[in-house]
Amino acid sequence: MKVLHTDIEGVVLIEPEVFGDARGYFFESYSQREFDARVRPVHFVQDNESLSRRGVVRGLHFQRGRDAQSKLVRVVRGCVLDVAVDIRHGSPTFGRHVAAVLSDTNRLQMFIPRGFAHGFAVLSDEALFQYKCDNPYAPQAEGAIAWDDPALGIDWQLAPGEVILSEKDRHHPTLHEAAELFDYNIDYYA
């Protein structure tokens, strides 16, 4: 696997080595040993999958405190714009984001560490999205910020009339209104 560093420390893209021939292709989508050595030691405990149609925006979600989650995300079918936002107060990149197109053809994965909000927009007719988490879902620790917070400056690559949101995702605070974010000086992996 090839690890591609982004403008925000800790957020990386992973490009697998694909072996193809007349029969099709093969690639290793995850190796704990390689991931620990090349990205960071993380023990994933839960795999999730969602199916969404074009225009769906999910996010920007996170879990607080001891329930904070790292995520390793990928697209099995279709294409999404995947976004990670630094929400660690005191970070030199606080409020900045990384956005990358993940698809079934480029096979890129994004690692989102603890201390980041995460979301994605579906750019294809539909997308089958999978992700690993290193902490289980904890509803009491849920947090989110507004996907369309103008201070974030995210280009979701969708026309305003195309965006489809859950009722819950329509009502999140902006980054500067959000309470209980993360502290850059705390190690959320300790």
19: exposed, middle or buried (Cβ count in 10 Å: 0-12, 13-18, 19+): exposed
Element (H, E) at 34: helix 32-38
Catalytic machinery residues: 61, 131
C-beta separation of 60 from 168 below 8 A: no
Identify the DSSP state of 125.
Answer: S
Distance CA 131, CA 139 (A): 18
Distance CA 102, CA 183 (A): 29
Distance CA 109, CA 47 (A): 14
Distance CA 98, CA 8 (A): 7
- Is 7 in a helix, a strand, or coil? coil
